[in-house]
Amino acid sequence: MLCSRFYCSTTTGSTSVEPVVVFLHGLLGSGRDWSKTAVFLSPYSQLWIDLPGHGGSQSLLCDDFDECCAHISATVLKQLGEKTPIVLVGYSLGGRLAMYGVAMQRF
C-alpha cells in the first residue's frame, strides 16, 4: 500500500455520502504538495497519496502505469472501502495517472 494521509471533512451532520477528494501529485512531488490547495476543499474529506518512488512511498517502485494504478486503487480501497465515491485530482504525472486509470477502468 502507498503512503497516504486521510483528512476528514470539516463539516459534520450530513446524512448523504459525500465524495472523498483523492489527490495525486506531480513528478518529484509528494502528497503534501496539495496542502495549500486542499484548504479550499476543507468541506470535503481528502486522501493525499504519495505515488510510488515519491515521499513516504519512495521504497515502492513500479514498472508501468498499470502497476502504479493498481497501487493507487489498493490504497484507496484500503483507506476508504468500496462504496465511497471519489473525485480524482491530479497534477502532471498524477493527472496522467488519473486519466489513464479511469480510461482503463482501473479505478
Q: Is the pLDDT of residue 16 over 70?
A: no
Q: How many angstroms separate the CA atoms of 98 and 66, rounded? A: 11
Q: Is the pLDDT of residue 4 over 90?
A: yes
Q: How many angstroms separate the CA atoms of 47 and 41, rounded? A: 12
Q: What percent of the chain has pLDDT over 90?
A: 90
* Average pLDDT value for the chain: 94
Enumerate the β-bridge partners of residue 47. Answer: 6, 22
pLDDT of residue 17: 79
Number of neighbouring beta carbons within 10 Å of residue 24 = 27
pTM: 0.92
Band (13; pLDDT cuts 50, 70, 90): low
> pLDDT tens digit string along 39-84?
999 999 999 999 999 999 999 999 999 999 999 999 999 999 999 9
| 42's grid cell | 476543507
Band (15; pLDDT cuts 50, 70, 90): low
Mean pLDDT of 27-33: 96
CB 38 within 8 A of CB 11: no
